[in-house]
Amino acid sequence: MIYRPRAVIIDGRLEEGLELEVEEGVICSLRSSSRKEEPYVISPAFVNGHSHMEYWNFRYTMSHFLRSLKEHSPDSPEGKPKDTDQAILSKSRRASNGATWAKWVQELQRLKAQESPQDSRTACFQAAQRQKLNGIAFVWEHSDRPGSAEAMKTAGLDGRVFQEVITFRERLNPLDKLELIRSKAETQARESGLPVTLNPHSLYLVDQETLSSLSSTQNLISIHFGESVWEELYLNEGRGIFAQWEEALGFKTEKKGLLLDFLDSLGLLRRGVQLVHCCVIDPFLVSKIADSGVSVCLCPVSNHSLECPIPPVRNLIDAGVPLSLGTDSAASGSFGDLRQEMAQLLLDTHSVDYQERAFFLTSGAAYNDSPDSVTTEEVWRIATEGGAEALGLSGWKIQEGNQVPLIAFQPEKLELESLIWPGEREEIQWVNEQRKPFSM
């Protein structure tokens, strides 16, 4: 089959005057062409680095909950860190006291406890279908309750399932809980044929021994990291909402150290580990992250909905950290649409310069006064080729010899921006869904 599009997207750039020939999913030829073009643009399909399909049913309830939180009690006393936490807050560059996140995570637990297994399974099927319609081909799915692996298979989504390990309550004897999680993982693998591995949810919801043992397997790991200010308050200072939860369960809180140091001590600062969110990381520590070989998944819509700090995206890109984009879940405002994530990332990074500059100017710290925000091309690349590389996939690029899933758009104007912002949303078409078998 020969395609003569108006343009193809290579490394986030629109390239005109090319035609491509695809045979059995393989791009067997990419050559220049002067023949009449057809009115569409072809891109590699999207890659989703972080998803929780099981929360699809909570989209309306949570949206309403978050709206009413912001309208009525933005700074509720029990959710608010003390004034002395300003050092941590300013380090994270978008002022966030973590109050919204704290309320949200408790509401999520409440909703989860009320939902039947059948309803959460149905949610997974709807969310997986939505992702496919939105041009996503490959997903790193994070699953607590069963359903999403089979949903991915049914929707035709490739990827991997990270079966979430949470041992916050079971820390004294986590073996029974781990056995239960292992059996969920086996069921999911059987239902889907996809790779399913046990994965620590975060540094704050998993006991230290289990974290070390999961780290020692050298499996791929995708861990929530630095999403809110509470993690560092808990691990480094032994206080905040997680310490309060511990106290309520009768456990004593032990300080573990700074986030990145604790991660390192567990052997989790290494290639094959993806850090999801990274909102609360010091821009000055980005080089340490880059040197370690970890990748980072950004979830801009979720972070925006939950009023988390904006990650230092420019620093991460400049340091060469492999980045992917993730939709997180409908419980935090994301609808399985990477263009929604790209748009939010552009909004976030175009405002951060001003906040960042103001912070550095008032603090007197050294600051490279670069006007560079993240560009549309960079954002597109993170959602496609770059995201694929971050997840360990090769050949996710329009290039001769590659077998990469392809999607097409029909924009009125030939510019990348018009593919991202709302208005073109119905027009994604699948050109080629085939891909070489995943072999990691």
Binding residues for Zn ion, rule: CB under 5 A, are 328
Q: How far is the CB of 276 from Zn ion (least distance, A)?
A: 6
- Shortest Cβ contact with Zn ion: which residue? 328
- In the bound state with Zn ion, the residue whose beta carbon lies nearer, of 304 and 314, is 304
- In the bound state with Zn ion, the residue whose beta carbon lies nearer, of 12 and 200, is 200
Q: How far is the CB of 224 from Zn ion (least distance, A)?
A: 5
- In the bound state with Zn ion, the residue whose beta carbon lies nearer, of 48 and 192, is 48
CB 168 within 8 A of CB 203: no
Q: How far is the CB of 57 from Zn ion (least distance, A)?
A: 16
- In the bound state with Zn ion, the residue whose beta carbon lies nearer, of 40 and 140, is 140
Q: How far is the CB of 412 from Zn ion (least distance, A)?
A: 35
CB 151 within 8 A of CB 53: yes
Long-range contacts of 256-263 (CB under 8 A, 24+ apart): 256/203, 256/208, 258/232, 259/203, 259/225, 259/226, 259/231, 259/232, 259/235, 260/285, 260/288, 260/289, 262/203, 262/235, 263/203, 263/225
CA distance linking residue 431 with residue 398, whole number of Å:
12
Q: How far is the CB of 52 from Zn ion (least distance, A)?
A: 5
Alpha-carbon torsion 183, 59, 52, 273, what sign?
negative
Q: How far is the CB of 259 from Zn ion (least distance, A)?
A: 16
Backbone angles phi, psi at 152, to 5 degrees: -65, -45
CB 327 within 8 A of CB 51: yes
- In the bound state with Zn ion, the residue whose beta carbon lies nearer, of 85 and 328, is 328
- In the bound state with Zn ion, the residue whose beta carbon lies nearer, of 141 and 150, is 141
Question: Residues 94-120, buried b or exposed e (16+ Cβ, 10 A)?
Answer: bebbbbbbbbbbebbeebeeebeeeeb
Q: How far is the CB of 331 from Zn ion (least distance, A)?
A: 9
Q: How far is the CB of 108 from Zn ion (least distance, A)?
A: 10
- In the bound state with Zn ion, the residue whose beta carbon lies nearer, of 246 and 328, is 328
CA distance linking residue 417 with residue 45, whole number of Å:
17
- In the bound state with Zn ion, the residue whose beta carbon lies nearer, of 44 and 200, is 200
CA distance linking residue 2 with residue 29, whole number of Å:
9
Q: How far is the CB of 225 from Zn ion (least distance, A)?
A: 10
CA dist list (Å): 232 to 159, 238, 282, 350:
31, 9, 12, 27
Tokens (6 digits) for 93? 């560059």
- In the bound state with Zn ion, the residue whose beta carbon lies nearer, of 150 and 328, is 328
Query: How many residues does the structure list for the chain?
Result: 440
Alpha-carbon torsion 290, 294, 299, 302, what sign?
negative
Which of 376, 387, 382 lies closest to 421, judged by CA? 376
